Amino acid sequence: MTRFALTLEYDGTPFFGLQRQATGPSVQQAVEEAAARVTGETVTLRAAGRTDTGVHALAMRAHLDIVKAIEPFRLMEALNAHLRPNPVAVLACEVVADDWHARFSCIGRAYEYRIANRRAPLTLEANRAWQVPQPLDAEAMHEAAQALVGTHDFTTFRSVQCQAASPVKTLDQISVRREQEHVIVAAAARSFLHHQVRSMVGCLALVGMGRWRIGQVAEALEARDRQALGLNAPPHGLYFMRAVYPGEG
Amino acid sequence: MTRFALTLEYDGTPFFGLQRQATGPSVQQAVEEAAARVTGETVTLRAAGRTDTGVHALAMRAHLDIVKAIEPFRLMEALNAHLRPNPVAVLACEVVADDWHARFSCIGRAYEYRIANRRAPLTLEANRAWQVPQPLDAEAMHEAAQALVGTHDFTTFRSVQCQAASPVKTLDQISVRREQEHVIVAAAARSFLHHQVRSMVGCLALVGMGRWRIGQVAEALEARDRQALGLNAPPHGLYFMRAVYPGEG
């Protein structure tokens, strides 16, 4: 048996999230079925994160175990061939140690959230960004976001379906920047609660619109109450950007 | 009657090009039908360029004449509402003089061609870029492209369906740059022949792959023969970027 680490890019639009669901197609199912066709084996994909319906990934990390002898480059090419026409691509494939685990070995995760700050509906970027027509003050959003950095009880920013044992997480970094008509929120942590990034972005957008004062984000955090959440941003603006492992860049 | 100039953005994927076709949906038909619903009038859209099936636009300019009294901002909003779910958006709308013509007044057009230079199939960028798996030398492509600048007989780079009276055009600028895994070709001219940008990009890609010498692009141009064309790049990497009018920027 050989363990392979994969770097996956996907368009989350047609999937019911990354994880296998009884209700519809998932990224996991697409990759596992491709791997089964390549190897003749029943394989299980384990991923660094569990992205929701409509959430995208530029570099999700995952692993699978294969008995058949196959070179990593050939496995990548074969998976990509069999993944068509699913919008999932294997960007990299390498052999890792048997105890390397895409989820449990991961020590850092980074997301970006893409807001298209414009009045006109989206065309080329439909399902790729959250369209917000009101002008956003990205600097105010950045300032408000800094209250979230550090170790906190993030109950306010946690989905009621979240399965994490504790609502306490450490947010290492969050920044908000403007790039022409886009406002990009970047966040990094060891791990996140379910809906945490989308919930933080929703509240920051309220600050950007001038509907919340900068200090209200800190107040919402301190409330430790889901009812204090102003707005949950939609999934299609969210991108899983990077997973970090010990000994990697 | 008031003449309105529109700035249009569209995803060309579902359309049989910009211009109205008997064979299927077009951007022109989508906009004209939206305008008819807004005004109750039969309107004709005139555009700066005629993009093909699958070709996109970030800022196509066009005009239409409306009898009903309506403010430009309200017209834009109403068109956008009625254009849904077509991937066409009106980014700007202004009143122009009755003799302003989106096509005939236009004195400059700019296109960009987007190549995704990677081995893995495209997911989020499917139908938004041309995937070229062989490593491309963007500097060699840029150097080769400079032979195309100036006034030339572009017969080699002209579709057999091209309706222009003359194959002689003046290419003002062409540049090739790398942005991480993308290679972007930007071209500007008063006007282009049918398929000219895609044909130029196809030959430049051959140079980038090392299958053509840098000098072969100049040789293909001098041949003035469609048979000398090495490769026509596919439509889905092409974007209409900008139309220029007297007295504007």
* DSSP secondary structure string for all residues of A187-211: EEES---TTHHHHHHHHHHHHHHTS
- Please indicate if any CB of chain A lies within 8 Å of the CB of B160: no
The two structure tokens encoding residue B69 = 């009294």
Q: Reply yes or no on whether B52 is catalytic.
A: yes
Mean pLDDT over each residue of chain B, to the nearest integer: 96
Q: How crowded is the C-beta side of A51, counted as CA atoms within 13 Å? A: 39
CA distances from B132 to A11, A201, B183, B193 (A): 20, 36, 10, 24
Q: What is the pLDDT of residue B162?
A: 87
Nearest to A123 among B76, B88, B123 (CB): B88
Q: What is the pLDDT of residue B66?
A: 97
Helix (H) or strand (E) holding B51: none
Q: C-alpha B121: how far from its chain's center? A: 24
| A125-159 confidence digits (pLDDT tens) | 999 999 999 999 999 999 999 999 999 999 999 99
Number of neighbouring beta carbons within 10 Å of residue B27: 29
Asked if the domains B2-96 and B108-244 are classified in one and the same CATH topology, the answer is: yes
Residue B249 pLDDT class (50, 70, 90 cuts): low
For residue A9, the chain B residue with the least C-alpha distance is B123
Contact, A18 vs A24, CB < 8 A? no
The residues spanned by each domain of chain A are: 2-96, 108-244
Residue A230 pLDDT class (50, 70, 90 cuts): confident
| DSSP-based three-state secondary structure for A108 | strand
Which amino acids of A are annotated catalytic? 52
Q: Could you tell me whether strands A56-66 and A238-244 are parallel, antiparallel, or unpaired per DSSP bridges? A: parallel
Ranges assigned E (strand) in B48-204: 56-66, 88-96, 108-116, 130-131, 150-153, 168-179, 182-189
Q: What is the nearest CA distance from A120 to chain B, expressed in angstroms?
A: 6
| Burial of A142 per CB tally in 10 Å (0-12, 13-18, 19+) | buried
**Could you report the predicted ipTM of this complex, rounded to two decimals?**
0.93
Q: What is the pLDDT of residue A22?
A: 86
- Please indicate if any CB of chain A lies within 8 Å of the CB of B195: no
* CB-based contact B128 A128, cutoff 8 Å: no
Q: What is the pLDDT of residue A134?
A: 97
- Judging contacts by C-beta atoms under 8 Å, the chain A residues touching residue B56 are 124
* CB-based contact B89 A10, cutoff 8 Å: no
The two structure tokens encoding residue B208 = 């980038």
Rounded CA separation A139/B152 (Å): 50
Rounded CA separation A40/A23 (Å): 25
* CB-based contact A121 B80, cutoff 8 Å: yes
The number of C-beta contacts closer than 8 angstroms across A and B is 55
* CB-based contact B126 A9, cutoff 8 Å: no
Of the candidate ranges A42-51, A155-164, B171-180, B238-247, the one whose mean pLDDT is the lowest: A155-164
The helix-helix angle for B215-223 and B138-145 (nearest 10°) equals: 40
| B151-167 confidence digits (pLDDT tens) | 999 999 999 888 888 99
Q: What is the nearest CA distance from A147 to chain B, expressed in angstroms?
A: 33
Q: Could you tell me whether strands A108-116 and A238-244 are parallel, antiparallel, or unpaired per DSSP bridges? A: antiparallel
| Burial of A181 per CB tally in 10 Å (0-12, 13-18, 19+) | middle
- Judging contacts by C-beta atoms under 8 Å, the chain B residues touching residue A91 are 118, 120
| A92-126 confidence digits (pLDDT tens) | 999 999 999 999 999 999 999 999 999 999 999 99
Percentage of chain B lying above the pLDDT 70 cut:
100
- Please indicate if any CB of chain B lies within 8 Å of the CB of A127: no
**CATH of region A2-96:** 3.30.70.580
Q: C-alpha A123: how far from its chain's center? A: 23
Nearest CA-CA partner of B197 in B174, B226, B177? B174
* CB-based contact A89 B120, cutoff 8 Å: yes
Nearest to B89 among A56, A80, A123 (CB): A123
Residue A161 pLDDT class (50, 70, 90 cuts): confident
| B83-108 confidence digits (pLDDT tens) | 999 999 999 999 999 999 999 999 99
* CB-based contact B126 A83, cutoff 8 Å: no
- Please indicate if any CB of chain A lies within 8 Å of the CB of B11: yes
CATH topology of domain B108-244: Alpha-Beta Plaits (3.30.70)
| DSSP-based three-state secondary structure for B36 | helix
Phi-psi map region of A130: left, alpha, beta (phi>0 left; psi -120 to 50 alpha): beta
Contact, B140 vs B207, CB < 8 A? yes
Mean pLDDT over each residue of chain A, to the nearest integer: 96
For residue B128, the chain A residue with the least C-alpha distance is A124
- Whether A65 shows a pLDDT value over 80: the answer reads yes
Q: What is the nearest CA distance from A216 to chain B, expressed in angstroms?
A: 33
Mean pLDDT (whole number) for A186-196: 97
| DSSP-based three-state secondary structure for B111 | strand
Rounded CA separation B128/A181 (Å): 19
Q: What is the nearest CA distance from B157 to chain A, expressed in angstroms?
A: 28
Is the N-terminal amide bond of B135 cis, ω within 30° of 0?
Answer: no
Mean pLDDT (whole number) for A27-55: 96
